[in-house]
Amino acid sequence: MDNLLIARVFSEIGDLLELKGENPFKIRAYRTAADIVGQTGERVADLADAELRAIPGIGKTVAAKIRELADTGQLAFQQELLEEFPSTILDLLRLQGVGPKTVARLYRELGISSLDALETAAAEGRLRGLRGLGAKKEQLMLRAVAEYRRREGRFPMPDVQDIADALAEHLRGADPDLQVTPVGSLRRGCETCGDTDLLVAGTDLAILERFAAYPGVDRVLGRGETKASVLLTNGLQADLRLVPSESLGAALQYFTGSKAHNIALRDRAIQRGLKLNEYGVYRLDTGERVAGATEPEVYAALALPFIPPELREDRGEIAAAGTDTLPHLVSRGDLRGDLHAHTTESDGRADLDAMAVAAREAGLEYLAITEHSKSLAMANGLDERRTLAHARQIRDADARLDDITLLAGIECDILPDGALDLAEDCLAQLDIVVASVHSAFSQEEREMTDRLLRAVESPVVDVIGHPTGRLLRRRDPYRVNIEEVIGAAAAHGVALEINSQADRLDLSDAHARLARERGVSVVISSDAHATNAFGLLRWGVVVARRAWLEPEHVLNTRSVEALRAALRRNRN
């Protein structure tokens, strides 16, 4: 059973226990378990009991429940809880301003268990009789239901970055020197964000006014002395927090999170006789403030080096920092080439020369041109004859152009049975072959896994492109045992791609980290279809950083000569 499925079950149990009014720490234990399972690269269902128990946060009970889910496909405990509350009630918990206490009361006292029922009851004014609920709250709930229906959940991180940039620019309209820093999941580089948080140093309340007056604001959710929350017309919630400059570092640390990282950090503070909150680090005995103005200062007060935001998930980064063994994360400047790009020869929008020049201007030393292959007729894919002719053109262009090396490649389709779309002797004449799945997405897991394994085993395949095929918010990953694919990639020296397209980010951070652990090289590719697409590489770099990747783990940080030597076709 898939990790995400198991994570979803634990998360739902957390919600149901909360409705029951269970011990909050028990609820937290299930939510933590959901996070851990969701962020684990290898399948927890395949782990032995001892291995499961070795994961911090997974104890005897949760391990047994994972086993039960893996063996039977369901969980009796979850079924029992669902007999107390209908599953439709869980939608109500997702409403803005509505929490478990309210939902439980709505259900017990009015029998409301669905969005529809809540909407009807609120419209009829039947809620205001309940303790703690007035006419105003009733209206808020009606609006929350409408908003829930309109929005599609979380937003891809690259989109949220654009939104945050625009908001920051608006805020700086009053003061060009104003420091506006995005925090929260965006700063950590999470692949999707449920909202955007911005931090500003100072005490000038006018900035909160300016924030609330941003043209993209649909309505103001709340505004106080230190914080304002708004809902943007695109459905994203944005929060602005105003913090005194002497507390800026502590606030940056606090609001960047993650929650799990902060809890672990506070625990470390307490062990050292200190207290950490969003205003600073304080001695527990005297209350004296010992740090808070800058983030490095906050970490230093806890005897830690600065921890890059992308690592702050409580996945071992605090221990690594404590022993000074944090990874030296790859950055955009380390990338010397791009190994996945299209031109007008298949479905790109710019010709070969234009793409080459744009890559050079993006600071790249080499670019692999990898058109689609013939089975992708919709994208004007190339057959063997065109592939070899195009390779000649690429090599001619390479000889003609200065300061950029062009590699003749192909993005070859992996056919439903795992065979490659082009003949092996053709593929062998190229500099690099990226193999990808673009069809028959609905295959069963075994069939899809075997399909990818067959491609990995082919001697002419160097890289597997967007290995899980997901499209954020639009298409789930195809059913594949990615751990098996990673194992095979390790055995055959095949690299796996982190595709930087904003709606792909595929491999995910968890899978990329697993690839690192299994000794598989990664490439960070733009999958560019236009001259402005090399900028997308920044998103792939964010994923790689969240996966703890260092330059040495990423093939396209190498010189073109070293890259060629490292490709599977040139090994052995």
Torsion (CA) 301, 306, 308, 311 in degrees, nearest 10: -60
Cα(53)–Cα(532) distance, integer angstroms: 48
Q: At what angle do helices 384-400 and 352-361 cross, to 10 degrees?
A: 50
With 0-12 / 13-18 / 19 or more C-beta atoms within 10 angstroms meaning exposed / middle / buried, residue 71 is: exposed
Q: Which is nearer to DNA, 181 or 226 (CB)?
A: 226
Q: CB 450 → DNA: shortest distance, Å?
A: 35
**3-class SS at 405?**
strand
Cα separation, 77 vs 228, in Å, equals 40
For DNA, give the closer residue by CB, 98 or 480: 98
User: Among the residues of 73-199, which ranges form H helices?
Assistant: 76-84, 90-93, 100-110, 115-123, 135-150, 157-172, 184-188
Comparison of 225 and 285: residue with beta carbon closer to DNA:
225
The burial of 131, by beta-carbon neighbours within 10 Å (0-12 exposed, 13-18 middle, 19 or more buried), is given as exposed
Q: Could you tell me the two tokens for 212? A: 């609330």
Cβ(406)–Cβ(391) below 8 Å = no
As measured in angstroms, the least distance from the Cβ of 151 to DNA is 12
Query: Which residue's entry shows tokens 């990995």?
Result: 456
Shortest distance (Å) from residue 315 CB to DNA = 14
Between 275 and 518, CB nearer to DNA: 275
Phi then psi dihedrals of residue 321, to 5 deg: -65, -40
Amino acid at 253: Q
For residues 255 and 534, which CB has a smaller minimum distance to DNA in the complex? 255
Interface residue list for DNA (CB under 7 A): 23, 25-26, 28-30, 33, 55-63, 95-103, 131-137, 140, 184, 195, 197, 222-227, 237, 239, 255, 259, 262-263, 266-267, 270, 275, 277-278
| DSSP per-residue letters across 423-490 | -HHHHTTSSEEEEE--S-TT--HHHHHHHHHHHHHSTT--EE-STT--BTTTBPPPS--HHHHHHHHH
CA distance 337 to 201: 38
As given in the structure block, the two tokens for residue 223 are: 């505004």
Minimal distance in Å, beta carbon 144 to DNA? 8
Measured CA distances, 412 to 31, 352, 463 (Å): 41, 18, 10
Residue with Cβ nearer DNA (7 or 536): 7
Q: How far is the CB of 139 from DNA (least distance, A)?
A: 9
Distance CA 34, CA 28 (A): 10
DSSP H or E stretch at residue 214? none
Q: Which is nearer to DNA, 181 or 331 (CB)?
A: 181
Nearer to DNA, 19 or 482 (CB): 19
Residue 534 DSSP label: G
Q: How far is the CB of 140 from DNA (least distance, A)?
A: 6
Min CB(539)–DNA separation in Å: 23
Spatial CA neighbour of 513 closest among 78, 41, 106, 153:
41
What are the Cα distances from residue 495, in Å, to 208, 426, 492?
48, 20, 9
Smallest gap, in angstroms, from Cβ of residue 271 to DNA? 7
Residue pair 81/87 in contact (Cβ under 8 Å)? The answer is: no
Cβ closest to DNA, residue 106 vs residue 422:
106
CB of 28 to DNA, least distance (A): 7
Q: Pick the closest to residue 510 from 549, 455, 559 (CA basis).
A: 549
* Minimum distance of DNA from residue 210's CB (angstroms): 16
Total number of residues shown for the chain: 572
Q: Which is nearer to DNA, 47 or 359 (CB)?
A: 47
Q: Which residue number, 111 or 132, has a Cβ lying nearer to DNA?
A: 132
Rounded Cα–Cα distance for residues 485 and 476 (Å): 18
CB of 485 to DNA, least distance (A): 29
Nearer to DNA, 239 or 506 (CB): 239
What whole-number distance in Å separates Cα of residue 507 and Cα of residue 524?
10
CB of 56 to DNA, least distance (A): 4
CB 284, min distance to DNA, A: 9
Query: Smallest distance from the beta carbon of 145 to DNA, in angstroms?
Result: 12
Contact 69, 58 (CB under 8 A): no
- Closer residue to DNA in complex, CB, 16/455: 16
- Least distance (Å) between residue 63 CB and DNA: 6
Q: How far apart are CA 512 and CA 504, in angstroms?
A: 14
Query: Which residue number, 255 or 478, has a Cβ lying nearer to DNA?
Result: 255
Q: Which C-beta is closer to DNA: that of 56 or that of 86?
A: 56
Neighbours of 363 (CB within 10 A): 12
